[in-house]
Structure 1
């Protein structure tokens, strides 16, 4: 089976399940409510509706950039999960044997999954931008504030969010290859992204010995790639400093390549049981 046919097969398998659109719905609801709520708080503070400006909240172009970057700063876990499920679903539902029978070259199967993961990453990125930029820009306009959408810097940032989602999906595939058990892989993803990394990044903002470690964590690299984040804004930008946006992209890609190679060497070449 050619790579194109193998990729089409991977997409068909994923679209035939409900998990992809369930994740999409959760993403849309989560990001939409978060962006709208935070945009209202920032706009109300900036215009004096709250009586006085609330310290710590960005204003002007910085506010718009931070609001739009919520798509990646908060939503990156969704392409990470779908990438993981693209692989672990094969082991859980025992569909890997027919997959290998149809495409005996196992490396080609991985490439097909990487391409399919990138497509899902783009799909989720577009959805994330729609439900984030739409409500946030609408609220900013309603309060008479600058949306930043007339700036090329803003559109460049939105393009980098698309890239970030693709890279997160690739990392997810690497996680799925390295951790074949679906439940274990999902638990690891959620535990690391929601608890372990945020704590390390928070510590890195105050403990000099952990600053370099925090800078190269995947979430910090993603924020560096995008160029704006609610987390780095809260931490005064220290957690991801020192890297250019392309450096953040290379760090994320490095995680994806390393995990994929580990999974391929450690388990993908084994006999399927």
Structure 2
């Protein structure tokens, strides 16, 4: 079985399960609530419609780009989970055995999984961008804050967000190869993306030295590729928080490096092992 047939088989397997649309539905609800709620809060504070406890009106700078970036800053967990489960799920349900029997060339199977995850990652990115944009626009228009949809830079941000989500799908497949246990990879992804990295980036933001190191973290690299992050809101509001970012192209390169690294390590450790 060649690469095209393998890719077609991967898409067929995806569409015969509920995973793809359940993740998409959860992502829409999650991002819609966050962007709508936080967009309302920040826009209300900036315009004075919501009074801050200290009595002053905080200034966050341009609100639209950081709020739009919720699509990737928060939503990137979904293409990672999709890509990871695309591989680890096969070990969990023992469908990896007929997969390798149908196509004994394991690296062809892996390439097919990577490219299917990239395609679905881009699709998740498009949905995430649309959801974040809808919530942000509704909140900002309610308070008369510029949505910046007329600016070409905003649409470039949307395109880069879709690219970032596609790359996160690649990273997810690599994690699924490295950690083929379904429960373990889910816990690993959720723990790192929702707790470990956010805390590391928060802790690193009080000095330029640690901030320069933290910019190489995967989520920070993704934000650099997109060109905006919700952390910019805190930076603009406080003026004392240090937020360092890679250049956009280097952020994308870092994501590719992360994906390649975990995939190669996984290939050397688990992908070649015998299956029953």
Partner SS for 2:63: helix
Q: CA deviation at 1:48?
A: 2.5
| Residues 133 and 58 of structure 1, relative CA distance in 2, 3 Å threshold | same
Do structure 1's residue 234 and structure 2's residue 237 form an aligned pair? no
C-alpha RMSD of matched pairs (Å):
1.8
Q: TM-score, normalised by structure 1?
A: 0.93
The size of the alignment, in residue pairs, is 270
Counterpart for residue 270 of structure 1: 273
Does structure 1 residue 9 correspond to structure 2 residue 9?
yes
* Cα offset, 1:209, TM superposition: 4.9
Specify whether residues 57 and 7 from structure 1 end up closer, same or farther in structure 2 by C-alpha distance, changes over 3 A only. farther
Query: Which residue of 1 is the match for residue 79 of structure 2?
Result: 79
| 8 Å contact kept, 1:218–1:251 | yes
Q: Counterpart of 1:114?
A: 114
Shift of 1:262: 0.7
- C-alpha distance in 2 between matches for 1:124 and 1:46: 31
Query: Conserved in 2, the CA contact under 8 Å of 1:221 and 1:252?
Result: yes
Range with bigger deviation, 76-85 or 49-58: 49-58
Shift of 1:143: 2.8
Question: What is the CA–CA distance in structure 2 between the aligned matches of 1:209 and 1:143, rounded to whole Å?
Answer: 38
**1:251 paired to 2:235:** no
Shift of 1:247: 0.6
Separation of aligned partners in 1, 2:196 and 2:213: 13
Is structure 2 residue 198 aligned with structure 1 residue 198? yes
Gaps of 5+ in 2: none
Q: Measure how far apart 1:125 and its partner are.
A: 0.8
Match in the other structure for 2:95: 95
How far did residue 73 of structure 1 move?
0.7
Q: Look up the match of 2:60.
A: 58
Contact 1:221 1:240 in 2 (8 A): no
Alpha-carbon contact 1:205-1:235 (below 8 Å) kept: no
| Offset from partner CA, 1:72-121 (integer Å, 9 cap, x none) | 11111011110100000110000111111111111110110011101110
**TM-score normalised to the size of structure 2?**
0.92
Which runs of structure 1 show a deviation greater than 4 angstroms over 4 or more consecutive aligned residues? 51-57
Post-superposition CA distance 1:30-49 (Å, at most 9, x none): 10011111121222223331
Cα distance change on mapping 1:150 and 1:171 into 2, 3 Å? same
Which stretches in structure 1 are left out of the alignment for 5+ residues? none
The alpha carbon displacement at 1:55 in A equals 5.2
The equivalent of 1:178 in structure 2 is 178
